[in-house]
Structure 1
Amino acid sequence: MTQERTEALDASPRLFESDLLDKMSRVHHLTPVIVYTPIFLGLVFYSLSLNGVALVLLGLIVGYLAWTLTEYFGHRYLFHTVFPLPFGLGPRFQFLIHGVHHIYPNDPLRLVMPPLLSGPIMLIALAIIRPIFGGSFAWPVLAGFMAGYVIYDCVHYWTHHGQPTSDFGKLVKRLHMLHHFRDAEKGFGVHAIWWDYVFGTAYQKGETPGSKAV
């Protein structure tokens, strides 16, 4: 890959005319860990005051699995769909939430969600989880969902800037690079890669990243 090509993929373009909005669209990759780890721990301790250890562990697993499905379907349908919004804003909306990432995939400050985006996702998750699971069990489920999100964001950053040494790590990175540089209609699980095999969007054996970005 040429130096010019590398610089283009690493670029961090301005997205908003407002200096404040543009600054808030860029975040350090450890932001999700810093913001959500204390909340996660608080939810776990609170959950243990309401439920037994086994039930809390079950809630964490349920919440984590719920996140992995959110990751897969959100990436497949929300991030890769242009919605018919009023005033022709659909393409602009899709570009802001994900399209820009495919054009500048290695932008180090736009590889994890800003809290202004991830926060509402957690509130929506809570609004859905509480009616389904009830008051006391909802909290460990939310904690598991939150943990899944943080893992996802960390893995996403790592797939672009990390150097895996394990076979599984190399597989996860390779599949995400295929999504960026070979076929963006496959490989929607960033860290939850198993859902692509379940839902028929996995890459076939022998496919390798190409030289043309999607």
Structure 2
Amino acid sequence: MDNQMFSVDLSKPLVFQVGHLGEAYEEWVHQPIVTKETPRLFANGFIEFLTRTRWWAIPLIWLPVVCWSVSSSINNGIHPYHVAPTVIAGIFLWTLLEYSLHRFLFHIKTKSYWGNTLHYLIHGCHHKHPMDGLRLVFPPAVTAILLVPFWNLIKLLVSAPYSPAFFGGGLLGYVIYDCTHYYLHHGKPLKGLSYRLKRFHMNHHFRIQNMGFGITNTFWDRIFGTLPPKSGKKAS
């Protein structure tokens, strides 16, 4: 198939079409369609259902896990005064993961059929339809799978009594991230930190998409030099 001639039919399920765009995928996926309508990704109804998540499902499902994890460390004999900084350290680790995943995985450049397809599933669909309210947070099934290696990593980094609280902090950081991400797209802050974060994130979507990878903060963008220039010129 000639990739230069291929055109995506937005009225049909999208996932298995976008791979045919080849090298044209990068430009196509960063031309956003600003509508609150939810595009269909899969023909299969059950798989399609799994890709759609209401924002409130994230705290509803994961905050009890956070509480259980933190209480596990307390039950293992860790004093609450020690648990609190451990949770904060877990949140801090999440902010680095948030930045790193967004920069190095979510914005990886692809041109092969399966590369385009996987990227579209992971993050491309969000950039193509940034106001799709049902695909602004991670599906819980995907999160549950990713928590397995995250937990194993924490067990290597943190001693056993502290590791549940550290894990709980990281998971709490994720919950804050996903809820913040939804709010930045659909909330209407008028001033303060939330207003500045919304401008920062909308700038990433609509003006300079290869910079500004933080969602809940701009700390790591400042550390690693990916703050967008005020001129609006894209980084080379």
User: After TM superposition, is the score higher than 0.5?
Assistant: yes
- Contiguous gaps of at least 5 residues in structure 1: 1-5, 209-214
The one of 57, 61, 72 aligned to 1:35? 61
Greater helix percent: which structure? 1
Describe the superposition over 1:37-59 as per-residue Cα deviations: whole angstroms up to 9, x where unpaired.
Answer: 11111111111112111221121
Q: Aligned letter for 1:100?
A: C
CA contact (8 A) 1:72 1:192 kept: no
Describe the superposition over 1:163-191 as per-residue Cα deviations: whole angstroms up to 9, x where unpaired.
Answer: 11332111100000000000111110011
Change (3 A) 1:7 1:90: closer
> Displacement, 1:197?
0.8
Q: Aligned letter for 1:107?
A: D
- Counterpart of 2:126 in structure 1 is 101
CA contact (8 A) 2:86 2:165 kept: yes
Change (3 A) 1:56 1:193: same
> Displacement, 1:19?
0.6
CA RMSD in angstroms comes to 1.9
| TM-score, normalising length: structure 1 | 0.88
Q: Aligned letter for 1:174?
A: R
- Counterpart of 1:68 in structure 2 is 95
CA distance in 2, matches of 1:187, 1:119: 27
CA contact (8 A) 2:91 2:169 kept: yes
Using the TM superposition, name which of 171-180 and 40-49 deviates more: 40-49
The one of 71, 75, 78 aligned to 1:49? 75
| TM-score, normalising length: structure 2 | 0.80
Number of residues of Structure 1 aligned to a counterpart in Structure 2? 201
CA distance in 2, matches of 1:24, 1:190: 24
Q: Aligned letter for 1:97?
A: I
CA distance in 2, matches of 1:170, 1:92: 33
CA distance in 2, matches of 1:30, 1:102: 21
- How many percent of aligned residue pairs carry the same amino acid? 34
Which runs of at least 4 in structure 1 moved beyond 6 Å after TM superposition?
A: none
- Counterpart of 1:184 in structure 2 is 209
CA contact (8 A) 2:208 2:232 kept: no
